[in-house]
Amino acid sequence: MAASATSHLLKRLARSLGRGTDALEDARRELRWMKQALHSPPKGIKPDAKSLEEMVERRVRNEPIQYILGSVPFGTRLELACRRPVLIPRPETEDWALKLASVLRAQASPARPLRILDLCTGTGCIPLLLCAELPPGSVRATGVDISEAAVQLSAENARINGIAVSGGPGLAPAKNDKQENTFTPVLADLMDPDFVNRAGLEPPYDVITSNPPYIPLTEYEALDSSVRDWEDPRALLGDPVSSSPAAPSVPDAHLNKGLAFYHRIAALVRGHGLLAPDGWLALEVGDGQAEEVGEIVRRGTALRAVATWEDPYGKRRAVVARREGVCEEPSHY
């Protein structure tokens, strides 16, 4: 492409990204990523855009760069396909999931594989990261989501990254080869009273992870359009939109604070023996929610050792709990 055409795209992109001195630098970087995605995309992931112009036009309309590129690098080795409207994996999630992998590494072994359940799995980023980071044969992960698009994408992501897909809708169970980690995608509604049966879960699990929707309705309206207009509200909104009969009982003090899913998860852990006695519960939380989510876990479950882990930007981002023992944040991964 002629230099003048590229520089036109660069200017257009920079203007749309903001006014700061960073805008040009950001634009140049994004343009480079677009070229990379067009000419040498990660294996098995092709962006749906056909040209640089098309990509820039979409970006100018504030479409998230990850949907345009079609992929997100995640953890130390994953490349995840990323498509509207499935929630884009965030760096904060990558950070705590890597930390979790590093604390689980000590107990993960093919002799006794860890059974991992991820609720609201989206692209599958959390269970797939654990599959990729932990030794071969030491993980049997299940990822559940309410969205068909998410369930399909998570299965696709497992395959792209060479992780065996087992069971799931219309799929034969994978060979029970001890030498590989497996991922099972499941379509189910967490709020369904009969969730455990409908999802075909087989408790107990050694690790339960979740990045549930946690944005309060009031904040949702104020989100940047790149989030609000492009990503699935079902992955973001932590307050039930209508008072559906299936909605969990949320105490008045927690209404409209984006905490409904934490109450539901706590109830599942307590009521259904979902978590093994020495198991781990790790939940991502929104800005300012760590305290309350810690309380929900402490009161609603038998887990007594509760810690909050910070993200790289200084926010308390994950609540990690066990029945007893230590679940402090590792100093690095």
Partner 1 sequence: MFRSISRLGFHATRQINFSRQLHIARVLLAQAQRQAGSTSKALDAPIVQYVKRKVEERQKLQSELSDEALSDEDIQRVRKIRELEPLQDAWTEWNRAKESLEETSALLNDPDPTMRSMAEEEYAALTENMNQLVENTFPSLLIPPSQTAHLSAIIELRAGVGGSESALFVGDLVRMYTRAAQSMGWDVSVISSNVLESGGIKDAIMEVKGKGAYDALRWESGVHRVQRVPATEASGRVHTSTVGVMVLPLTEEAESSADDDLFKMSDVKLEVMRARGAGGQHVNKTESAVRLTHIPTGITVSMQDERSQHQNRRRAFQILRARLMDRKLSQEVLERRDMRRSLVRSADRSEKIRTYNYAQDRVTDHRIGLSVKNLNMVMDGDGLQDFMRALQERHQEEMLEEVLSEQ
State the residues that interact with partner 1 by CB under 8 A: 24, 28-29, 32-33, 64-66, 72-76, 87-88, 90-95, 98, 211, 213-215, 219, 223-224, 226-227, 230-231, 235-236, 284-287, 311-313, 315, 317, 331-333
Burial of 86-123, coded b for 16+ CB within 10 Å and e otherwise, reads: bbbbeebbbbbbbbbbebbeeebeeeebbbbbbbbbbb
- Distance between CA atoms of 297 and 70, rounded to whole angstroms? 36
20, two tokens: 């700061």
DSSP per position, 294-333: HHHHHHHSS--EEEEEE-TTS-EEEEEEESSS--PPPS--
Q: What is the CA radius of gyration of the chain?
A: 20
Nearer to partner 1, 27 or 201 (CB): 27
Nearer to partner 1, 38 or 196 (CB): 38
CB of 309 to partner 1, least distance (A): 13
Q: Which burial class, exposed, middle or buried, applies to 59 when counting CB atoms under 10 A from its CB (0-12, 13-18, 19+)? A: buried
Whether the Cβ atoms of residue 245 and residue 282 lie closer than 8 Å to each other: no
**Using a CB cutoff of 8 Å and minimum separation of 24, what contacts does 29-35 make?**
30/59, 30/65, 31/6, 31/56, 33/65, 33/69, 34/59, 34/68, 34/69
Nearer to partner 1, 121 or 182 (CB): 121
CB of 254 to partner 1, least distance (A): 18
Nearer to partner 1, 220 or 280 (CB): 220
Nearer to partner 1, 133 or 156 (CB): 133
- Distance between CA atoms of 274 and 317, rounded to whole angstroms? 23
Nearer to partner 1, 315 or 323 (CB): 315
CB of 269 to partner 1, least distance (A): 22
CB of 320 to partner 1, least distance (A): 16
CB of 172 to partner 1, least distance (A): 33
CB of 315 to partner 1, least distance (A): 5
80, two tokens: 């995840």
In the chain, how many H helices and how many E strands? Answer: 13, 10
Q: Find how far residue 318's CA is from the centre of its chain.
A: 12
CB of 160 to partner 1, least distance (A): 16
CB of 35 to partner 1, least distance (A): 13
The two beta strands, 139-145 and 205-210, are unpaired
